[in-house]
Structure 1
């Protein structure tokens, strides 16, 4: 059951509540999002819900079709390939640029996030640390348009990664700290050529894991 929205900015609050339900898997991919039902659950107007859903559509989390309503995006092979191809290109550029521009403070923040990952056992909290690490890398690159491009796909990446974790939670927990520790080391060393390859492979390994999980989906735990 969705919790009632707090009076902060009702469209933004509605978007936040629905987004978290989508990330948590309580609103699965492909689900219809009906304004009347959401407005009743959130205790806001349909107008606020409509505005909130428009925000989520701009993030790529939902799709609206005229006369067919709004649905959470599906996890199709095509969608996964497209999102991870874009992310791989963006991460490669962000990492190699950050290697020349990151401040000591930003490098220290990356190290702290890696240590937090190593100590964390909850997979969804690990995912938040994972995305926070990449947010620091993008900000360290110092390219506003690159950061905006990352933000345009970030919610889709989080959704897809949350499902990847459900398919292979133990493997994700075992690998996440080590992979990010290597990225942080290469960023600090300024080894741009090696960093580019590692940053791109980091994304492609996640893509492969998700696609493999999708092929097993009828037998996977929900």
Structure 2
């Protein structure tokens, strides 16, 4: 039934939102790796909710790019193809270049300090999954410091997929990850604070390129006999 002015009353989706948050956190925490099945019956039992909110939550996660649904398999955690990785990398590069330029031109000391504080958390991270979360938080802080609302919204649109990209990266190779990543981000943060645009752009590009090369390069290596 339509409300005033012919507008259909909105449905409350709080429960579906909460289920989506729980499932997303489980994916990011490594409980459901890429390719894992997400069965409505099991999720509804684990979360103590009916299948309706679970179904809505999975649709939301599918829109984020975290979940894929196929009629013969149901919902699974997205497995990124080489094409997915390349597209994410190129889009992230375009967004990040603008963000870096804006941060260097306009960021306040408080915003730069917020970026520094994420690096300090990275230096205390205890495992790879915690480090990936800090990595995403670092880029959240960079986009927030850009002061560009639509740019930040564009980042949020691919954020979950970039998170999945980084989880896939540590699944391919995690050796040295805990020691190298904080040092890389310290360099990024220092370049932003120094407002050294060219150095910052080069460092951000190298940082993206290293993850891309690990993921694509390792996948394309011939299997050992």
| TM-score normalised by length of structure 1 | 0.85
In structure 2, the CA distance between the partners of 1:217 and 1:172, relative to structure 1 (3 Å rule), is: farther
Q: Note if 1:74 corresponds to 2:79.
A: yes
Equivalent in the alignment of 2:219 = 214
Larger CA Rg, structure 1 vs 2: 2
Judged with a 3 Å threshold, the aligned counterparts in structure 2 of structure 1 residues 216 and 171 are, in CA distance, closer, same or farther, namely farther
| Higher mean displacement: 206-215 or 45-54 | 206-215
Q: Secondary structure at the match of 2:123?
A: helix
Equivalence for 1:30:
35
1:179-198 matches, within 5 Å, as 179-198=184-203
State how far apart, in whole Å, the 2-side matches of 1:115 and 1:106 are.
Answer: 15
TM-score (structure 2 length as normaliser): 0.84
SS in 1 for 2:169: helix
Q: Report the number of matched residues.
A: 212
Pairwise CA distance, 1:217: 11
1:116 is matched with which residue: 97, 116, 121? Answer: 121
SS state at 1:64 partner: strand
Structure 1 position 58 matched with structure 2 position 85: no
For 1:144, the equivalent position in structure 2 comes to 149
SS at match of 1:32: coil
How far, CA to CA, are the matches of 2:163 and 2:20 in structure 1? 15
Deviation readout 1:58-100 (Å, 9 max, x if unpaired)? 2110123467633221132111111122112211211111111
Q: Distance in 1 between matches of 2:167 and 2:89?
A: 14
Structure 2: runs of 5+ lacking an equivalent: 1-12
Indicate which of 35, 41, 44 corresponds to 1:39.
44
- After TM superposition, the structure 1 stretch with the greater mean CA deviation from structure 2, 208-217 or 197-206, is 208-217
Cα separation, 2, equivalents of 1:217 and 1:161: 22
Assess if the C-alpha contact under 8 Å between 1:113 and 1:129 holds in 2: yes
Superposition CA RMSD, Å: 2.3
Q: Aligned pair in 2 of structure 1 residues 38, 218: CA closer, same or farther (>3 Å)?
A: farther
Q: Pick the aligned partner of 2:169 from 161, 164, 185.
A: 164
Where in structure 1 are there 5+ consecutive unaligned residues?
A: 1-7
- How far the C-alpha of 1:118 sits from its partner, in A, is 2.2
The partner residue of 2:54 within 31, 49, 57 is 49
